[in-house]
Amino acid sequence: MVNIRFRIVASLVLSFVLVVFLSSTLPEEILNLTAKSPQPTARIAVTPTSTPVPTSRPANTPIPVPIFTPKPIPTGTPTPLPLPPNHQYSSISVIRANTETMQNRVDLDMDIRGYRLVDQSKQLVSYSGDSDPKAPQFSSLFSPPRDAAIIATYENYNENGALNQSPAVTLIDLQTTPGENIVVPNSGYDIGSGFQVMVLYAADNKVTLKYTREDDVISGYAIYIENLNINPNLVRLYDQLNNQGRTSLPALKGGELLGTAAGNWIRVAIRDTGSLMDPRSKKDWWRN
């Protein structure tokens, strides 16, 4: 029994001595190996074939806002559209020529005498009294013929510089589609060889038509139309005949091309035997 106890004690002492001996002789790196964190396995860098999409936005980076540029509001006369193919015009002899300069002929150009915007009804007006069944019809200003909304009303000035207050409206703007054809308003009149009107005045953006062959507005109907791209052949023919003494002037048939609408409106007035009339009159100019 004593030998067994001695052996146990001897084994314990020997183990203790061995531990002390190892602690003093082994390198510190081996002793601390199990206490260190494992090192990560090295990874192979891979070059991406495309730009990576970020999963988050860096701090303090503003979020881009789409830029909105509003379209400008059109002002003034719209840009003219191209004219349709050129059209050749004819002429007719004048019964009573007038060789006064345009500056003295306020009856041929509305802009010389002038007019003012007035706040009046933009609907057709019903007047009492008789009407001329042959009178030119404004619906046939357009091809094909159609009604047109009145979008502005005006009053012309008279020879004395005062407003011509009766009727209350002597000039209107009719709504158009830019570039649409504007033609000679049809009537029941024939001034010779199937022509309905003679051109008293033509410029790049306006024309004055007369439903007789006198070179004035004293008798018969005269129509003023503005804000057009007048066909250049018509302007050239008018200028040529005007410079030659106005013994002949351009002549057109009903429905013949004048030009195209230069924008969203054309400006129209009409005279009857010299007097400016109300272009809104339903029984006179808008029966068809």
- Exposure string over 39-61, b if 16+ CB within 10 A, otherwise e: eeeeeeeeeeeeeeeeeeeeeee
Give 159's contacts (C-beta < 8 A, 6+ positions apart).
106, 113
The first and second tokens of residue 178, run together, are 């830019």
The first and second tokens of residue 77, run together, are 């006369």
Q: What is the mean pLDDT of the chain?
A: 79
What residues form DSSP beta bridges with 222?
Answer: 210, 271
CA atoms within 13 A on the CB side of 86: 8
Query: Confidence band (pLDDT; 50, 70, 90) for 33?
Result: very low
Rounded CA separation 7/10 (Å) = 5
Query: Confidence band (pLDDT; 50, 70, 90) for 70?
Result: very low
Q: Which pLDDT score, from 0 to 100, does residue 54 have?
A: 38
Strands of 60-112 (E only): list them.
90-93
Instruction: Please check whether residue 232 lies inside any domain of the structure.
Output: yes
Rounded CA Rg of the chain: 47
Query: Confidence band (pLDDT; 50, 70, 90) for 273?
Result: very high
Q: Which pLDDT score, from 0 to 100, does residue 137 have?
A: 97
Instruction: Please check whether residue 144 lies inside any domain of the structure.
Output: yes
Is the predicted pLDDT of residue 239 greater than 90, yes or no?
Answer: yes
Query: Confidence band (pLDDT; 50, 70, 90) for 112?
Result: confident
Which stretches within the chain are classed as H helix? 2-25, 28-31, 110-113, 232-243, 282-285
To the nearest whole percent, how much of the chain has pLDDT over 70?
A: 69
Is the predicted pLDDT of residue 2 greater than 90, yes or no?
Answer: no
Instruction: Please check whether residue 258 lies inside any domain of the structure.
Output: yes
Rounded CA separation 110/224 (Å) = 8
Rounded CA separation 232/230 (Å) = 6
Query: Confidence band (pLDDT; 50, 70, 90) for 164?
Result: confident
CB 16 within 8 A of CB 23: no
The first and second tokens of residue 209, run together, are 């038509």
Rounded CA separation 62/220 (Å) = 74
Q: Domain with 151 in it: what CATH number?
A: 2.70.70.10
Instruction: Please check whether residue 75 lies inside any domain of the structure.
Output: no
Is the predicted pLDDT of residue 286 greater than 70, yes or no?
Answer: yes
Instruction: Please check whether residue 173 lies inside any domain of the structure.
Output: yes
Q: Which pLDDT score, from 0 to 100, does residue 95 have?
A: 92
Q: Which pLDDT score, from 0 to 100, does residue 96 have?
A: 83
3-state SS assignment for residue 141: helix
Domain hosting residue 219, numbered range: 90-285
**Which among 12-16, 159-163, 261-265 has the top mean pLDDT?**
261-265
Q: Which pLDDT score, from 0 to 100, does residue 263 have?
A: 93
Instruction: Please check whether residue 127 lies inside any domain of the structure.
Output: yes
Backbone φ, ψ for residue 259 (5° rounding):
170, -155
Instruction: Please check whether residue 217 lies inside any domain of the structure.
Output: yes
Query: Confidence band (pLDDT; 50, 70, 90) for 100?
Result: confident
Query: Confidence band (pLDDT; 50, 70, 90) for 58?
Result: very low
Of 198, 194, 229, residue with least CA distance to 93 = 198
Total count of domains within the chain: 1
Instruction: Please check whether residue 54 lies inside any domain of the structure.
Output: no
Is the predicted pLDDT of residue 121 greater than 60, yes or no?
Answer: yes
